[in-house]
Every structure is written in structure tokens, then in C-alpha cells.
Amino acid sequence: MRKDNDTPRQLVKKSAWGIIGANKQIIALLIVAAIFYIVSFIVSGTKFIAILHISSFMALAAMGQTLVFLIAGIDLSVASLLSAAGILLCTLVDKGVSFAGSVVLVIAASAIVGSLNGLGISYLKIPPLVMTVAMQYILRGATLVTTNGKPIAISTASLSYWVNQGVIGPITGGILVTAICCVMLMWMLYKTKFGREIFFMGSSPRVALMSGINNDVITLKVYTLAAALTGLTGIMLVGYTGTAAVRIGDSYLLPSIAAVLLGGTSPLGGKGNVVRTIIGAFILCNTVSLLTVLQMSEAARQVIEGIIVLIFIVVNNVDIQRKKKKKA
Amino acid sequence: MRKQSIFLKKYGELIPIYVVMILMIGINVWKQPNFFSVTTLSRTFNQLAPYIFISMAQMCIMLIGGMNFALGGLVSLSTCIFAKTMVESDLRNIPRIIAVILLIGVMEALVGYIIGHFRLPTIVVTLATSFIYEGLALGILPTPGGYVSPNIATFLTGRIGPISVAFLMCLVFVVIWCLIRRSSVGLLIYAVGQNRNAAFSSGLNVTWGYVMAFFINGVLAALAGLMLCARTMSGDPRIANDMTINAVTAAVLGGVTFSGGEGKIAGTIAGAVVVGMLVNVLFYLNITGFYTYFVQGIILIISVVVNNWRRGARRNA
């Protein structure tokens, strides 16, 4: 489009349109999010920062999932890992380990679980879905055996206070941690070699392999990183709810995947990023709060969430197909 | 190369799973001396029938590529609908049961159409539908209960002469599947599973393949729900939610691959019997309650690894 004889004014105009054109999808997503927020604000009157606070946990849970989706995988062990991380944290704190120490230990343990996932998927060639479902069952069995199914309360109130109250002005600890993770992950995805390799492998594992990228190592790293993020989310959830229970993570499994899909990250890999997921989580939380205020039952809420996710999958996919046709 | 008999070539890969199955049955016989009596056998079949149906249902989807994540939710939903629609008069119950089975089939066929037409990944769409089914089940029947006609329940869990009705039903549907497998629909499902693009290029109707695979899957899931209803005499919105993983394990144990287009009914049934009997065997081994999750997860991983390794060995040979 850009010609050499354009006047400066035309150039500015064109590049402005260029920025909007390049980010068309993300702008559309933001508009959808704004509409969802305005509707839910009119109906329920929930404050922006409150919704942001609730959605920060979902966004954090969905970030690891986003990374896994980028290499065309899926991580269903999230549900049990969230619970397991919370239970481990409470147990360690009870045993007298210092708080910072137990946080580090929990994240390390989660990373080990993730690396087991990664090893199974890359070296034993187990499909991601099966490996992570199996891991979910193993972790659930382990947590049930250790806790006998009873919830554990956290003995330090400071975590709960820090997560839920304003740290910097109205910004709560939950929002702060999510924002920091988001910035770091975006930097990793777009500015480091590893990040570019993730996109490369996600778009076409075969081509990546032929260009000398070690897919197995990337898979291993991505699953480990995702599980570490999930462990962090588990800790934040303990702060959010004040207790750790075996089933606490189950209600976060499908929303975490839904948030990723709502944000337009492709389940086929190679397309999407973390910011989109955060917007997706925001949309989802608005929907949930809207449906709660409308006094929908848990069952009806689940059905409507499922239908919304289905619609978004279809819409996103139609968009991809149209693009492919245009190129051809 | 040494000549192998055709039978061994075709069914040789199923030998290990049948050995495991006989081992499982052996443990049962050892611990339960009256295993082969008519009543015990029919009780065992009542326990196994839901596993066999749900594993066959999962096999249908895995043959066309992908897997149905909503299967457990679908079975739970069907038990709820059965328990809600049954009335006192059995004459009016039979058309109702058939209508519910067809309804579940058509619902799934619609999902199949969405997947085939928009070319969506099966796993993600069934994840969304699992949300929907579980929600619907809770909406229809918030707590376990409802009404199941005692006559129908006793008929389904009883026996005709010495042969259990559950066994006959499994047999009938295995025969039906064998007929479907040899018809154009079965070939279409296998062809799409092997290579979707090649199937499309050869002028096959890929979307129709998905619709049929999901329709069969839905009908089988509804039958599993019916058997569960007959056994528990009630509907339960959560009864089968954990059965998705069992169905996948059974199909994988039976040699069905995740890439699609490969797998046999004979293997799947052996896999289903192993998975169904596992609960008994774990009970005899004193592994109960919370540990079963642990064991299920590990068995799933092992079965997939063994399956992969066997396929790799066959390719290299």
C-alpha cells in the first residue's frame, strides 16, 4: 500500500490505520470485553476493580494453559495441581517452614509435576490430553490420601490479607501478581529465543524439527513452566479463599480453558498470547457475575458458559479459515 | 520372511490384552469360587455392560480421530432423562426409552456436524459440550433420584433362561457394530480417521462421517445410561462423570490409537472387561477408596506407553 510519493500526512494516516488493522482482533476483543463489563455493571453494579480482582485468579490459572495451547497441547492436570499446591502450602506452613520457603518449595514441586507431564508427552509420545488426565487422577488420589478429603485452613492470615486487599492504592495483590506474570511472559514470548521457538513449534512441529529446533526440549520446558504458574495460582487461591481443599481446583479447570479460547488463542497451536487470555478471563468473569446476579442456578450457569465457549470457538475458527482462503 | 497365518496377522496384536483379560477373570474366579454360577455371571455382566457400551462409544470417536471428553457427562445426562421420563405404565415406557436413546443420538450428531462442518478440533468442542451436558444433567435432576420402572429394571438386569439380558444386549450391539463396520458408513469413519484430507480429496463426505460417528457414540452412551439406571434404580447427575477416563483406558488397552483409523471392536471389549473388572480386583487386593484414582491414572499411562511401543515395534518389523 505504502507508496514512495505519499505526503507525510498520508503516511501518518496510513500507519495509524495500519496499527488498528494489525490489531483488529484484539481491539474487537477489547470492545466485546467493554460491552460485557458495561452490561454487568448496569445489572449488578460491580466495581471494575472487584471484577478485575476476581478475574485475576482465573487469568493466572489460564496463563500456563495459554503457553501449552501455543504448542498445540492441553493441560488438564490444572484442576488437581491447583488443589495439591494449596494443600502442600498449608501443610508446609503448619509444619513450621517459613512462608517464603514454602512458597518456593510449592512452586518447585509443581514444576516437577509439570516436567513429568512434559517427559511423558515428549519422550514417551503420550498424547497431551491422556498424560495430563492421568496426572490429574494421580494427583487427586495423592491429595485425597494425604488429607482424607478434609479441607485445611491456612494458619497465616497475612497471605489472605495481602492477596485480597489493596497493595498499591486499589490494586490488590492478586492483580499485581497477575500483571507481573503477564509482563514477564509477554517479554519471554516476544523478546527471547525460547518464546519465538514456542510459536515456531506450535505453527508447524515438523518444520521446526527440520530447522533444528529440539521439539522435545521445548515441550518439556513449556509444561514445566505452565505447571509452575499453576502452582503459583494454587498459592494465590489459598490466599483468596483462606482454605485449601481437594476439590477447590476443579471449578477452575474448564474456566481456565474457556478463558484461553475466548481470548482467541488457537487450540491448534502457534497463534495467541497471554494478554488475549487475560481479556478472555475478564469477559468470562463478567458473564459469571452477571449470571449470578440474575439468580441463575449453578446448572444453568454451566450450560450458558459452555454455549458461549462453543460460539467463540466456532467464530474464531471461521475467522482463521477466511484468512486462509484470502491467502490462497 | 516367514509366512504367518492370516488370523494371527489380523488379530495377533490383540493377544496381550486377552491374556490380561483372562488373568483378571482368573483372579475373580480364584477369589469367588462360584464365579461361573448363573447368578454371579449375570451380576458380573450387569456390572460390565455400562463399561462395554461406553468404551464402544469412545472407540467410535477415537476411530474418526480425537476423543470425546463429554462422554461421562452425556451418560449421566441420559440417566437423568431416563429417570425423569419413565412412567408407571410399561407399555408407554418402551417408546419413551427408544425416543430418549434417539434424542441423545441426535444431540451428539449435531455436535458431530459442528465439528465436521467447521473443521474444529474434537477435543475442544467436546470439552465445551461436557460443560453443557453436566449443567443440563444438574438442571434436570439436581439430586440423585427420579423414577425408574421396576419391571424394566428387573428385565434389564435379569436373564432370559440362563443367559443374562445385559450379555444379550452387548452381543446384539457388537453384531450391529460389525455390520456397520463393513458398511459404507464404517468404511467412511475409518477412512476419515486414517487421513481426513485424503478422504475429502477422494470425494467422501467427511462431515457425514463425523455426524454418523457421533450419532453411534450418542446411542451407545444412552444405552450405557440405561444400564446404569436399571442397576441403580435411579438417575444421578454425576454417576458417570469419572467414566470418561475409563472409556479411554479401555479403548487404548484394546489397541485403538489416538491418531484415528486404527482399532478393533474385539480389542475394545477386552479392554472394557479389564477396566470393569479392575474395581473387583483392586478390592481383592485391598486397594480401596482414594487409591483407585491413583491406580487408574498409572494404568492409563502404562497402557498408552505399551500401545505406542507395540506400534513402533510393528512399524520397524
CATH code of residue A303: 1.10.3470
Q: Which domain does A91 fall in, by range?
A: 48-311
Percentage of the residues of chain B whose pLDDT score is greater than 90 = 42
Percentage of the residues of chain B whose pLDDT score is greater than 70 = 97
| pLDDT value of residue B315 | 61
- Tell me the mean pLDDT in the region B25-29: 86
By Cβ distance, the residue of A130, A142, A306 closest to B135 is A306
Q: Could you tell me the sign of the dihedral formed by the alpha carbons of B56, B60, B66, B68, in that order?
A: negative
Residue of higher predicted confidence among B226 and A292: B226
| pLDDT value of residue B2 | 56
B233 touches chain A (CB under 8 A): no
| pLDDT value of residue B271 | 92
Q: Is residue A151 part of a domain?
A: yes
pTM of the model: 0.86
Tracing cell 442397576 back to the chain, one arrives at B231
Residue of higher predicted confidence among B168 and A164: B168
| pLDDT value of residue B3 | 59
pLDDT class of B198 with cuts at 50, 70, 90: very high
Q: Is residue A92 part of a domain?
A: yes
Residue of higher predicted confidence among A247 and A80: A80
What distances in angstroms separate CA A88 from CA A80, A99, A133, A317, B104, one per listed residue? 12, 12, 20, 40, 42
B129 touches chain A (CB under 8 A): yes
Residue of higher predicted confidence among B212 and A246: B212
Among the residue ranges A14-28, A29-43, A173-187, A285-299, the one predicted with the least confidence is A14-28
| pLDDT value of residue A3 | 54
| pLDDT value of residue A222 | 95
- Tell me the mean pLDDT in the region A239-253: 81
Q: Is residue A43 part of a domain?
A: no
Q: Is residue A193 part of a domain?
A: yes
pLDDT tens column, A70-98: 998 889 899 899 999 999 998 888 888 88
ipTM: 0.81
pLDDT class of A196 with cuts at 50, 70, 90: very high
Size of interface A-B (CB pairs under 8 A): 128
What distances in angstroms separate CA A217 from CA A112, A212, B122, one per listed residue? 15, 12, 27
What gap in Å lies between CA B260 and CA B60, rounded to an integer? 10
Residue B159 has pLDDT above 80, yes or no: yes
Do residues B283 and A130 touch, judged by C-beta distance below 8 A? no
Q: Is residue A61 part of a domain?
A: yes
- For the ranges B83-97, B196-210, B301-315, the maximum mean pLDDT occurs at B196-210
∠ at Cα B29 (B25, B32), nearest 5°? 130
| pLDDT value of residue B229 | 92
| pLDDT value of residue B124 | 85
Q: What is the CA radius of gyration of chain B?
A: 19
Q: Could you tell me the sign of the dihedral formed by the alpha carbons of A174, A175, A179, A180, in that order?
A: negative
B291 touches chain A (CB under 8 A): yes
| pLDDT value of residue A31 | 84
Residue B210 has pLDDT above 70, yes or no: yes
Helices marked H in B119-195: 122-140, 150-157, 165-182, 184-194
What is the pLDDT of chain A when averaged over all its residues?
84
pLDDT class of A168 with cuts at 50, 70, 90: confident
| pLDDT value of residue B174 | 93
Do residues A75 and A252 touch, judged by C-beta distance below 8 A? no
Residue A16 has pLDDT above 80, yes or no: no
Q: Is residue A295 part of a domain?
A: yes
| pLDDT value of residue B172 | 94
Whether residues B135 and A301 touch (CB distance < 8 A) is answered with: yes
pLDDT tens column, B97-130: 999 999 999 999 999 999 999 888 888 899 889 8
DSSP state, residue B145: B
In this structure, what C-alpha cell is assigned to residue A211?
530447522
Percentage of the residues of chain A whose pLDDT score is greater than 70 = 89
Mutate to test the interface with A, among B74, B125, B301 (most CBs of A within 10 A): B301
Whether residues A145 and B131 touch (CB distance < 8 A) is answered with: no
| pLDDT value of residue B133 | 93
- Tell me the mean pLDDT in the region B207-214: 95
B21 touches chain A (CB under 8 A): no
What gap in Å lies between CA A263 and CA A31, rounded to an integer? 12
Residue B4 has pLDDT above 60, yes or no: yes
| pLDDT value of residue B314 | 65
Residues of A with CB under 8 A from a CB of B: 74, 120, 124-127, 129-131, 133-138, 140-142, 144-145, 149, 254, 257-258, 261, 267-268, 297-307, 309-310, 313-314, 317-318, 321
Whether residues B131 and A120 touch (CB distance < 8 A) is answered with: no
Closest CA to B121 of A301, A272, A316: A316
pLDDT tens column, B44-83: 889 899 999 999 999 999 999 888 989 999 999 999 999 9
What gap in Å lies between CA A233 and CA A264, rounded to an integer? 22
By Cβ distance, the residue of B134, B248, B290 closest to A145 is B290
DSSP state, residue B70: T
pLDDT class of A240 with cuts at 50, 70, 90: confident
Q: Where are the domains of chain B?
A: 44-244
What gap in Å lies between CA B206 and CA B253, rounded to an integer? 27
Closest CA to B62 of B293, B250, B274: B250
How many distinct structural domains can be found in chain A?
1
- For the ranges A74-83, B17-26, B207-216, the maximum mean pLDDT occurs at B207-216
Q: Is residue A241 part of a domain?
A: yes
| pLDDT value of residue B87 | 86
Residue B217 has pLDDT above 60, yes or no: yes
What is the pLDDT of chain B when averaged over all its residues?
88
Closest CA to B216 of B96, B109, B100, B133: B109
Do residues A270 and A202 touch, judged by C-beta distance below 8 A? yes
CA dihedral defined by B18, B190, B113, B134, rounded to 10 degrees? 10
Residue A1 has pLDDT above 60, yes or no: no
pLDDT tens column, B233-257: 888 888 888 888 889 889 988 888 8
pLDDT class of A186 with cuts at 50, 70, 90: very high
| pLDDT value of residue A299 | 84
Residue A130 has pLDDT above 90, yes or no: no
